[in-house]
Structure 1
């Protein structure tokens, strides 16, 4: 019950702000820590209590020595019993209670929940980044930075809270106690403190810089490793094992060298601090003994000063590693910021409203888009698709067909012009509502590494078993799903499909994708090379499912195989981002333009128009 109470102090899944996290390290820390400031304040206050108790124990040692020297053994407990009971209460009750409270705050409240709150909020922000964001980086590096940043931010913040009181209380109390016994006794500690701070001031900023470089190299290494695992079939097919090993080894050598540069500093810092500590112990102990020999301090002062400087010696080593760890973690957070604190290229307007589709008409109004390149990908294109009309986009590679679909889905924002759906500018509606009204079947059907059922439910999360079965039947996926079995013995709809659906054939993946879009039942349908990866037999089998899928919808289809879209109501021929021809298959063949040349190239003159459209 006690553990649960502390564990509930921080909600790991608190709904975050949708604003971009601050790109500056200090403000980034504050952005997350102020969300849980009461817990950190409690940890700070408890840490103060723990430090005071620890210092008081050394004071007790000196007091006991002096009391034992001054009192007769027979009357010792009578004279000092109350003081001894007080000392025992501090050691037996206050110290364990304060330490237990500190551990509960840190281990139950902060470590699991704050770490995962930071990860959760960063993940939610990054998941809403544009498609281009993910295309420009390794998926493994993005994931690594999100995982490491949460842990490093929490760890460094906790270490700062733990260290601050130990530094202030131990050194401050020691100076006060030494000065109280004799002002000269505080001189070695004061000199050591200045040298210690100076040492940290020189080493720590350099350690932070090299730590950031090491973290950046580690993220790069992780990205290359995950990239290889994700494309392991390609690596095996091309039989370049040594080439891939060299590619990863290059990043590993870079990471190793940067890590070595960082550890050189930590080793030098450790040696410097250890030397300073030796001077502190010898100087303080020797001075205490000499002052005692002069009658200026008591034996208890020798015990206090010697014990306390030994404790400070141990603490200084701990503080050194803590400070080093803090700045290493700050370097990791700084590395994470390069991925996490990036503005989104595609964002909903503050006044964005949900898209309402009543008919499904689509209009491209003088649109321009270049992917940031010089020269036009789409330049000044205008196209109207009537509600329920089925059009095919045709053209050579690079003509702008897939780009047209990408801007319709608002995976990228236009540079000029508008796209309207039933008269509503898609830049004025929410991205979620826009994409919920458009069903998409692509050439590279990528399934999630989950069960068949989970993949299908992406189309409609609230679909019933009957609705799933009907969609599967229409997509003709019921022919193979019952026979599926995965490596863990799960069968049918419960079988997992492997990463990106690799355990299924291309035709099976495509049928699952069609069933998923059937479940979605969106009024606008996009087919982007939906059958080009299949052989002719599989394509013919799936074409019937596509015909069912297209019924009653506005359809925009892209296909390099012109035979698959020749039956469309209208064909739109693109070249260099512009519409150069439009009409039915027969009309375009008769014009003997670009479409006719593409058709002749594919058919070799052996397939007549009547064979396709008859």
Structure 2
């Protein structure tokens, strides 16, 4: 459903406001993305290009909400104090302007919170991760063929998708939760100190206890999240790989074997899930103990100070209300902190893949090819997998338009790799004068690149089957399909 139809036509002003915030960030920038820098914080910072000012705006708006929310508890304490001090006829005469100022701040806080929600939800929540996906996807498309020969396609796609969401959540948690909590506690501390410095003691004790619990358990949750992200990528990669190579699976494997192969990765994933849930239970139980201690100690200390005449009823009400608010806020802090470390672990896992530099690049100021005829010319091409073991050394060959060339040799002799440099699929030490508009035919690659026979001795022992791969049959017999018993779909 289009966003314009979510609200009725009578709400066009709201639609215009939403549209304005939604259009602040371009989710599909045309500029070529730069490879993110290595290192967690440098990776996050470079990925935030184009949205940093809106992250800062969210942090500023959230800080304002934290200040106003802390002031509300101060207002509550003052009102309780005034109700016990003034008669009904005297209250508005003595404190009317202050009550009006409180009401004005409450109304202003609604407008402020609406602006913060628009920045958080309309500007960042959906657009920021889509911008990351778009940039990460283009980075992966520009990787070399060798990069994908070392990775599962499903694993790469999983890292693109989950890293974008994890990075969004981590950045917004810092700009939203961390800023809000920090400003709220600072403002609350100033208010409590103005009432009586002794009222700060329970909150200081809570901060020490809660920080100790977080320091002990949250990093372990983050490490577990990193293991879980890697296990999830492996599981997704194996499942996606089976679907992507379904023809090969049907020919050389069967459902039970593929299910067992995927189940192994699922079991590894469940190990990380159980470890994560155990830590979450410990975190919840310990935080509940600390929160209960805060509420009891604040109420007891407030009553003791009131009994000694050091504070009034309003101060006790303010301190107790703040303790109850912190009690509820701690659950938010706890789980958001756990999610923050979990997302940091996921981002760190995805960074290893997404920050890999491109190995095949155009030369600076390279011009598009403009070749009127589809000829291929190799001039002094050098290529090797390892230094000192060249596969191509000063290779020269000219293929004129209309000519057909066949490369014949034993399996593994490098027939495919003689062709791939011409199409920029492999990086060469020297390469000159290629026209990429040449056509080619080759054997079906999937049966040779995918580990379908992993763990199955009866395939590994099929020496006669492998030996016949080196036998070149006459084209006539091949057209009669006198090939191997296990055939593949080949180009004709």
Partner of 1:552 in structure 2?
A: none
1:383 partnered with 2:396: yes
TM-score (norm. length: structure 1): 0.67
- Provide the rounded CA distance (Å) in 1 between the counterparts of 2:19 and 2:260: 49
CA distance in 1, matches of 2:151, 2:445: 21
Query: Does the CA-based 8 Å contact 1:212-1:334 persist in structure 2?
Result: yes
Q: Which residue of 1 aligns with 2:214?
A: 200
Gaps of 5+ in 1: 427-433, 447-558, 565-597, 604-614
For residues 88 and 363 of structure 1, what CA distance do their matches in structure 2 show? 81
CA–CA distance in structure 1, aligned partners of residues 406 and 379 of structure 2 = 17
1:440 offset after TM fit, Å?
4.1
1:7, CA displacement in angstroms?
0.5
- Cα distance in 1 between the residues matched to 2:31 and 2:223: 30
Is it true that 1:284 corresponds to 2:298 in the alignment? yes
2:360 aligned to which of 340, 346, 352:
346
The equivalent residue for 1:25 is: 40
RMSD of aligned alpha carbons: 2.6
**TM-fit CA distance, 1:193:** 1.2
Q: How many residues align?
A: 440
- 2:105 corresponding residue in structure 1: 90
SS of 1:355's partner is: coil
How far residue 82 of structure 1 moved from its aligned partner, in angstroms, is 2.3
Higher relative contact order (CA 8 A, sep 6+): 2
Aligned match of 1:2: 17
1:158 and 2:172 correspond: yes
| Residue pair 1:363, 1:384 contacting (<8 A) in 2 also | yes
2:421 matched to 1:411?
no
CA shift digits 1:382-410 (9 cap, x unpaired) = 33325425032231333332211101111
Deviation (angstroms), 1:37 = 1.7
Counterpart of 1:210 in structure 2 is: 224
Contact 2:376/2:438 (8 A) holds in 1? no
5 Å-filtered alignment, 1:205-604, equals 205-237=219-251, 240-372=254-386, 378-380=391-393, 382-385=395-398, 387-388=400-401, 390-396=403-409, 397-415=411-429, 418-421=430-433, 435=436, 437-444=437-444, 563=475
Conserved in 1, the CA contact under 8 Å of 2:54 and 2:119? yes
Larger radius of gyration: 1
Q: Deviations over 1:323-380 (max 9, x none)?
A: 111111111111111221111121112242323324554333343434459955x343
Give the direction of change, closer, same or farther, for the CA distance of 1:315–1:233 in structure 2 (3 Å limit): same
Quick check: 2:144–2:360 contact (8 Å CA) kept in 1? yes
Q: Does 1:173 align with 2:193?
A: no
Q: Give the 3-state SS of the residue equivalent to 1:35 in structure 2.
A: coil
Cα distance per residue 1:189-236 (max 9 Å; x no partner): 112212222322232222211111111101101111111222334444
81-90 or 121-130: bigger deviation? 81-90
Give the Cα–Cα distance (whole angstroms) in 2 for the partners of residues 369 and 386 of structure 1.
19
Cα distance in 1, alignment partners of residues 45 and 197 from structure 2: 41
Over 3 Å counting, the alpha-carbon distance change for 1:384 and 1:274 in structure 2 is same
**Distance verdict in 2 for CA 1:384–1:289, change over 3 Å:** same
Q: Which has the higher strand share?
A: 1
| 1:75 aligned to which of 76, 82, 90 | 90
